[in-house]
Amino acid sequence: MTNFEPHQAEDPPREEAVPKASGGLPVSDPPLSTSQAPDPEVSLAAGARPNVPEDSTATPAENEVTAPAENTLAAPSHTIFHSTESKPPSRPGPRVVAVANQKGGVGKTTTTVNLGAAAAELGHRVLVVDLDPQGNASTGLGINPRSLESSMYDVLLHDVPIDEAIEAASVRNLFLAPANLDLAGAEIELVPAFSRELRLKNALAAVADDYDLVLIDCPPSLGLLTVNAFAAATEVMVPVQCEYYALEGLGQLLRNVDLVQRNLNADLRLSAIVLVMYDARTNLSSQVAQEVREHFGSTVCRVVIPRTVRLSEAPSFGQPITVFDPTSRGSLAYRDLAKEFAGEPT
């Protein structure tokens, strides 16, 4: 919560040190534009650390309320799925996690679906939000995108309440806000929209009290859909494939997280990096895992997701791995990841 300083009537009025707009309000920072994000990529294999901008030291405009900046690389405090902030309501809000990586094929959807199913098995009410126009999270949970009456496209563009789009999955306590190819046009249609970066946040606010954990499956890009996910989330989880190509562009992703943190969502932080597609038979996987842990420390989850055929087969049956093959290595790994992420013993 933002702390407001008490008003002191005896202090003499101060001169305005900040230029004001015609309406008398302090001039604020310009709105976020994803095109402003720097392009340089980071290669952890070469020993370079991600170029995450330092916290701004500029003095905020007078009377402008600013939240304290947080370190985007701070280690997560995984206690329970509920937020630990003290709030007036009796029931705290959920953890809202954006699962993001602008590189495709690194396990974002697989992690979102299976982590959500494993968390639901632990007794938590979980909502998976499919924000990828490909709709893979929807099909992976047995929902046919072609038969949807309402989808995330309608929620974001037509102001349809999100609870009208939510479908129940086959796993108890697991729910899905599905997507289809209509969402592909949202990137363009959102450009002239009012409060375009906050559409998802406003939609989720109506159902926040119904869930303990919200997982947002982001598209493989850093466009407006991903910015919506970052603006609505409190945490970012980044699946990293245990190959060197998967490390490229990670610095740009972290810079975008920092931009959103400073302009739209001061509560956003990088809470977890998950190593996926780990092949213990190769030295490459071990080297990449070691490099990531050296650079990001305790932000990297202890549990590593192995590369298995069963994980690749499960989506074709419309089931998470915990249902498709409950005793497989992939199923056990995601169950352990859910426990670690919730702060429970594994």
pLDDT digits over 51-104, tens only? 444 444 444 444 444 444 444 334 444 444 544 343 333 446 789 999 999 888
Q: Classify residue 22: in a domain, yes or no.
A: no
Task: Count the neighbouring beta carbons within 10 Å of the beta carbon of residue 160.
Answer: 17
Q: Classify residue 70: in a domain, yes or no.
A: no
Task: Count the neighbouring beta carbons within 10 Å of the beta carbon of residue 152.
Answer: 31
For residues 277 and 279, give the distance between their C-alpha atoms in angstroms, rounded to a whole number: 6
Who wins on pLDDT, 150 or 195? 150
How far are the Cα atoms of 198, 211, 237 from residue 263, in angstroms, in the given order? 12, 27, 20
Domain total of the chain: 1
What is the pLDDT averaged over residues 43-57?
A: 43
Tell me: the pLDDT tens digits for 218-275? 998 888 999 999 999 999 999 998 887 777 778 788 888 999 999 999 999 999 999 9
Q: Which two tokens stand for residue 188?
A: 């363009």
For residues 312 and 126, give the distance between their C-alpha atoms in angstroms, rounded to a whole number: 22
Ramachandran class of 173: left when φ > 0, alpha when ψ lies in -120 to 50, beta otherwise: left
pLDDT at 161 over 50: yes
Q: Classify residue 77: in a domain, yes or no.
A: no
Domain with 96 in it: 89-340
How far are the Cα atoms of 50, 72, 307 from residue 129, in angstroms, in the given order? 28, 23, 25
Who wins on pLDDT, 103 or 38? 103
pLDDT at 33 over 90: no
How does the average pLDDT of the chain come out, rounded? Answer: 79
| Predicted pLDDT of residue 174 | 97
| Predicted pLDDT of residue 92 | 62
Q: Classify residue 285: in a domain, yes or no.
A: yes
Q: Torsion angle of alpha carbons 286, 71, 107, 160, nearest 10°? A: 170
| Predicted pLDDT of residue 223 | 87
Hey, what amino acid is at 171? V
Q: Classify residue 174: in a domain, yes or no.
A: yes
- Side-chain-side CA neighbours of 115 within 13 Å: the count stands at 34
What is the pLDDT averaged over residues 207-218?
A: 94
The three-state secondary structure class of 128 is: strand
What is the pLDDT averaged over residues 316-345?
A: 93
pLDDT at 283 over 50: yes
Q: Classify residue 123: in a domain, yes or no.
A: yes
How far are the Cα atoms of 29, 108, 277, 335 from residue 239, in angstroms, in the given order? 31, 6, 10, 16
Question: Do 97 and 215 contact (CB within 8 A), yes or no?
Answer: yes
What is the pLDDT averaged over residues 132-142?
A: 93
| Predicted pLDDT of residue 326 | 95
CATH code for the domain in which residue 106 is found? 3.40.50.300
Within 245-292, strands assigned E span 269-276
Q: Classify residue 181: in a domain, yes or no.
A: yes
Within the chain, strands assigned E span 95-99, 126-130, 167-168, 174-177, 213-217, 235-241, 269-276
| Predicted pLDDT of residue 345 | 76
For residues 287 and 272, give the distance between their C-alpha atoms in angstroms, rounded to a whole number: 19
Q: Classify residue 155: in a domain, yes or no.
A: yes
The three-state secondary structure class of 110 is: helix
